[in-house]
Amino acid sequence: MRRKSYVIPRRTLLKGAGVSLALPLLDIMSGNAVSGKDADRPPVRLCVLYKGCGVNPHSWDIVGGSETNFEMSRILQPLAAVQDDILVLGNLDNQGSSDHMDAPGTFMSATKHKDPDRYSFDQRVADRIGHETPIKSMQLTADNVWKQHPWLNILSYDRNNQPLRGQHDPQAVFNEMFRDNVRSGRQDDLLSVLDGVKDASSSLARKVSVRDKRVLDSYFDSVRDVEKSIQQNRQNSRASGFDKQLASIDPSLKVGNLGERIKAMLDLITLAFWTDSTRVVSCMLANTNSRSHYDFMGVNAEFHYVSHHVRNKQVLPDYDKINIWHTGQLRYLIERLKSISDGDGTLFDNSLILWGSGIKHGDYHSLTDLPLVVTGGGGGKIELGRHVRYPQAQPYANLLLTLMQIMGTDIPGIGDSTEPLSGITEKANFTPSNPDDGSWKIVKSDNETLTAKGLLRISLDAEVEYYQLRLSDNSDLEIRIPYMNNHKLRFDRCVGKVVTVTGKYKEEAGRKVVTALTKAELQTP
Amino acid sequence: MNINRSFCAIFLARFIACGAVIALPQLMRASLGASFVEAARVIDTRCISCHDSETREAGIDLTPLLEKSNSSYGQYTRLWVKAEEMVSRGEMPPAEDGSLAVSERAAIEGWFEQSFVLRMGEPHVGPTPLRRLTRYELENTLEDVLSVTLKPPYRDTITGYLEKSTIQSLVPSDIPGESGFDNDAHRLGSLKPPLKEISEAVHFAIERFGDDEAAKRAVLGVDAIPDDLTDDQILDFISKFLARACRSDPERVKEYAAAYQRQYQRHVEVSLDCRKSLMHVFEMILVSPDFLYRIEETRGNDTPYPVTGWELATRLSYFLWSTAPDEELLRLGIDGSLLRNDVLKSQVDRMLNSPKRLALAESFAAQWLGFETLLSNRDFFVDERWNRETYDEVLFFFDELIESDRSILDLVQSDWTYRRASALRGQRHGYERIPSGYMKQRYADVLSERENGSNKKKQRYDPPVLVKTKDDREGGIITSAAIMRLTASKNRTSPIRRGVWVLNTVIGKTLEAPPDIPSLQEAREMLALNESPSVAEVIKQHVSRTECIHCHQAIDPLGLGLENFAPTGVWRTHYPDKAPIESSGVMPNGRAFETPRQMKQLLIDIYRDEIVTNFVARLLAYALGRQLQPFDRVTLESIVSEVKKDGCKVNTAIEQIVLSPQFRYRQDD
């Protein structure tokens, strides 16, 4: 363990002496990250961020471009500044169907709706590497807690399919990391208490029914868990004094709204990785039935309400705004992790982050083509700065398998996985599905009508959504048509594909704008 | 299902009188002659054409019910329950396909009753699950056993309603089970207890106890523990402590006292500090399964048998008080007199007159009606005072039902209500107050254990006040600010959400999620509505299609009838965009209403039986700590009929639940 890496600025230590300066938590992280016992090879840390409620596919999907040279979609715009640090994945399908309650569970285990097997992939990893850190794994819940429906917020399930509930209070997360009484001095006491209980309660099993005994077994399982974790903590105890220093800091984690809570959780993830408190974290940013109100970032509505955008088109701008805000949070985490050095690189290089939603389409709750971003260098194993859309749909489970392998485990499979996913650790080099052959242009036009061929996309402006035909000269032909016109032609289905359209147009500020369509033909591959 | 009243009486009398099950050959039930062949024939000829494995109308495939082996508790119980429910309500088959003949209905009901309600033709109580203390119960019990205060003072909460007690911040809250409540034995039993966190909570409570002279006097009979302890003193202290903590008979306490004395000896040899070692042993006791679980000794009998007196005392105490039995109750349990009806009834009466009964409002009602969310979910935050005040309006309302022995139907409509103190400041509120002496008594009653004694007016939080309702709006809990907020989003009301809430929560109807809904745009076009229709017009789109009308004719008038209440429950006549609110409506039975009061009255007229049954069913599930099963029907219907005979009183429901075989008996697999 590299003690020299603990550098805590003097001014933060002032606070331990009773000077109450409200400093952002991250200000204390100015030294190198703590990288476990083998300082030359920093460990890889796994972080799963779940943002439920899906997306509007048109606003999410990247259309056109190549694997390494592509334009961010509307929702991915905030990540444009860190485009070289992310890997956007398309055409990965989870199996079965899903609903609000079940989406996080299916996302984490790649098992079918209501499948009792919920052993989540982060826990499969934690069960193998968790013994190396003081805390085996952490579960965080940033979204608001809805007590009647706790499943909504549960991501992680242990090997016995027991739900692991997320900690909702940032201060409690901090306390767990640095102020845990059990770790700091009460260990012997607690072991002795549990010993005594086992002894004194030994006759109990004889008095109760078979059914009750099974329940009591889970109590004694829990006793063993505590004993085991105390032993584990002893083996992994950190440099003495360090926890005390951190524990004495007031991390200013009083949060008001959801935005502040999410930021606090992302800071705590960074802190956990920096101090090597744990290497496995899952965090619920927004559940799939989130009644959370996003007025703190300018949308006066509930997330889940606006996610049903097909039946109620008016909510679409707000829906996109919220999702855009969320990708902005991912960018925040990326930048935080990049600002901290770790080994020869940064904490970011040694993190492996999966960001996504358990459903794709906010209104239809589809499980195909999930919206997914992989980021963090994975210890140098992830080839970043790419957009990979698989030509044929691949099992999403294969991605989880790959991530588990990058985490250094030899887990053979999960859910309906078949093999590790190609195109993650190396370039995919798929042939682009819609290559520009130079024929994308206005084929003919008269005073009123035109025919044009091009790649159909959706504008990046959610407030006034319209279609765009990308032409070979890199210009866009605008298509603004009434709902029923779109509906009857099922025009929306053509987005992302090369299409030839015929219709009326008008001139607007020197540009042609298509106002009604009579025909839309997909190019046959 | 129609259960013969005299049958219930026989069942109850037999249970209560002797506790042993004797075969009663004179018990003649229609279901005794029910045959599977008959039931299967009806399902096959009348249901399968729509509900086979291919057509699966409404996603329901009834073919498994054609197998006789599926007519017992297992994978297909729910399907059977659903099928029988639809048939007995007359909802299936749909009228246009021809309703079932009386004999056809009887065939299905009879077979269901024989297979799921009765066992070998006899009623029973089902296997009794082991129950663990919830976090709420743990905190209450630690307070009572140790005679310390762990909760923050009640009146001191204006500035920090989100502040949790130490126990609450250490121990995670419990996940509600199928019963809808977090005291669900099956849920608590299926999850490992958070033992590390519980140990920390116990450690904290014991430290409090160690520093508190009055507590030690109450529990151990001494202000301070002497430096030197004789063996007898140690045994005496441990026995006294165990008697409070283990809710058990003297024999078991004796056995455990010896075991824990050995633990003490072992510890003191190392610590050389008898006080420390004694506290250490106390900590063991409060982490032990005998404290954390409500252990009931088994007789290994799969026919119902009465629990012991102290076990009944424990059941009763956790039902009404969410804490361990007090001295009197435990004493009556140990000497067996609690097993007598008259003693049991008088104890229920005593307990409902104790401030501890607030647990029923705080735990049962807050979970059933969901208003605990006002304090636990940051997203429902309006401001600290508002949330606490509106929470308390419903809390006090529910408690008043018990305090004044009122009707269950008052939950829907009442000529009294609780109003928050801030709404009553100034002269113009126009409420008729109840004489203040009564309120003082009420606060003393309800809050006695929570007062912090602070007299600084600014720091004090004033609880809500009992008033007579003054107009056509208020009364009951549906129109309370708390419920109006919970069933709306921050900036807009949702009539559908509110209508569904009333049907689900108050009337007890479970509604299926609707199949493919048309888009608003499509519906607008279908209905030839203009581009900005009124809320009422938009809602009417729902009922434009036959598959929707079935549920929505019940949902929509309820939701629209509440449109005058803004998301924070404030009365309004116009929407924020100045459009006028149309809140009159027509109920499914064709009766029209103009005001919320009329609507609530119609609710009672139409759904009276459902409202009472739903209340009793929820309370019974809470009392038993499990979801109700078909075998609970006999008891449920008997309680409901007793309650209806007695003016639908809440307290009658409570008493009848306590007297029921489900509550007093135990059964093993």
Q: Residues B515, B516, B521, B526: what is their CA dihedral angle, to the nearest 10 degrees? A: -80
pLDDT at residue number A502: 95
Q: What is the pLDDT of residues B224-261, one digit of tens each?
A: 888 888 999 999 999 999 999 999 889 999 999 999 99
DSSP string, B514-543: PSSPPPHHHHHHHTT--SS--HHHHHHHHT
Can you state the percent helix, strand and coil of chain B, rounding each to 5? 55, 5, 40
For residue B635, is pLDDT > 90? yes
For residue B25, is pLDDT > 50? no
Contact yes or no for A196 and B520 at CB 8 A = no
H/E element, A305? helix A303-307
CB contact, 8 Å: B490 with chain A? yes
- With a CB cutoff of 8 Å and minimum separation 6, the contacts of B567 are B484, B485, B488, B489, B490, B491, B492, B493
Minimum-distance CB partner of A147 among B173, B255, B281: B173
Contact yes or no for A258 and B378 at CB 8 A = yes
Q: What is the pLDDT of residues B179-200, one digit of tens each?
A: 999 999 999 998 899 999 999 9
CA atoms lying within 13 Å on the CB side of residue B156: 13
Q: How close does chain A come to B381, measured CA to CA in Å? A: 10
CA atoms lying within 13 Å on the CB side of residue A275: 26
pLDDT at residue number A171: 86
Ranges A169-183, B46-60, B157-171, B487-501, most confident: B487-501
pLDDT at residue number B417: 92
Minimum-distance CB partner of A305 among B173, B283, B489: B489
Nearest chain B residue to A228, by CA: B196
Structure tokens at B355: 């401030």
Our measurement of the distance from residue A82's CA atom to the centroid of its chain's CA atoms, rounded to an integer in Å, reads: 16
pLDDT at residue number A4: 33
Residues 500-559 of B with CB under 8 A from A: 517-521, 525
CB contact, 8 Å: B489 with chain A? yes
ipTM rounded to 2 decimals: 0.86
Q: How close does chain A come to B298, measured CA to CA in Å? A: 5
pLDDT at residue number B434: 72
pLDDT at residue number A3: 32
Q: What is the pLDDT of residues B103-133, one digit of tens each?
A: 888 888 888 888 888 888 888 899 999 999 9
Question: What is the spatial distance between Cα A54 and Cα A412, in angstroms, rounded to a whole number?
Answer: 29
Q: How close does chain A come to B421, measured CA to CA in Å? A: 26
Nearest chain A residue to B668, by CA: A209
- With a CB cutoff of 8 Å and minimum separation 6, the contacts of B521 are A311, A313, A483
CB contact, 8 Å: B363 with chain A? no
CB contact, 8 Å: B203 with chain A? yes
Residue B571: what are its φ and ψ, rounded to 5°? -70, 135
> Are residues A390 and A84 in contact, defined by beta-carbon separation less than 8 angstroms?
no
Chosen for mutation from B138, B170, B192, B369 (greatest number of chain A CBs closer than 10 Å) is B192
In chain B, residues with a C-beta closer than 8 Å to the C-beta of A483 are 521
Q: What is the pLDDT of residues A347-393, one digit of tens each?
A: 999 999 999 999 988 887 888 899 999 999 999 999 999 999 998 88
Choice between B412 and B172, residue whose per-residue pLDDT is larger:
B412
Minimum-distance CB partner of B289 among A201, A214, A291: A201
pLDDT at residue number B244: 93
Question: What is the spatial distance between Cα B44 and Cα A480, in angstroms, rounded to a whole number?
Answer: 55
For residue B7, is pLDDT > 50? no
Question: What is the spatial distance between Cα B555 and Cα B500, in angstroms, rounded to a whole number?
Answer: 6
Choice between B405 and A248, residue whose per-residue pLDDT is larger:
B405
Question: What is the spatial distance between Cα B583 and Cα B585, in angstroms, rounded to a whole number?
Answer: 6
Q: What is the CA radius of gyration of chain B?
A: 28
- Pairing assessment for the beta strands A45-51 and A351-356 based on DSSP bridges: parallel
Q: What is the pLDDT of residues B525-565, one digit of tens each?
A: 665 555 566 777 767 665 666 667 777 888 889 999 999 99
- Pairing assessment for the beta strands A280-286 and A138-141 based on DSSP bridges: parallel
Tell me, letter by letter, the H, E, C secondary structure of B547-567: HHHHHHHHHHHHHHHCCCECC
Which region among A341-350, B324-333, B525-534, B616-625 has the lowest average model confidence (pLDDT)? B525-534
In chain B, residues with a C-beta closer than 8 Å to the C-beta of A301 are 489, 491-492
In chain B, residues with a C-beta closer than 8 Å to the C-beta of A182 are 196, 199-200
> What average pLDDT does chain B have?
85
Mean pLDDT throughout B406-415?
Answer: 96
Percent of chain B with pLDDT over 90: 52
pLDDT at residue number B540: 66
Residue B188: what are its φ and ψ, rounded to 5°? -60, -35
pLDDT at residue number B667: 93
CB atoms within 10 A of CB B46: 21
Mean pLDDT throughout B624-636?
Answer: 94
Q: Identify the sign of the CA torsion A266, A272, A278, A279.
A: positive
Per-residue pLDDT band at B155 (split at 50, 70, 90): low
- Which residues does chain A have with pLDDT short of 70? 1-40, 97-98, 181-185, 236-245, 462, 525
Structure tokens at B254: 């004796």
DSSP B362: I
pLDDT at residue number B22: 32
pLDDT at residue number B78: 87
Residues 246-265 of A with CB under 8 A from B: 257-258
pLDDT at residue number B530: 59
pLDDT at residue number B473: 86
- With a CB cutoff of 8 Å and minimum separation 6, the contacts of B651 are B352, B402, B405
For residue B268, is pLDDT > 70? yes
CB contact, 8 Å: B297 with chain A? yes
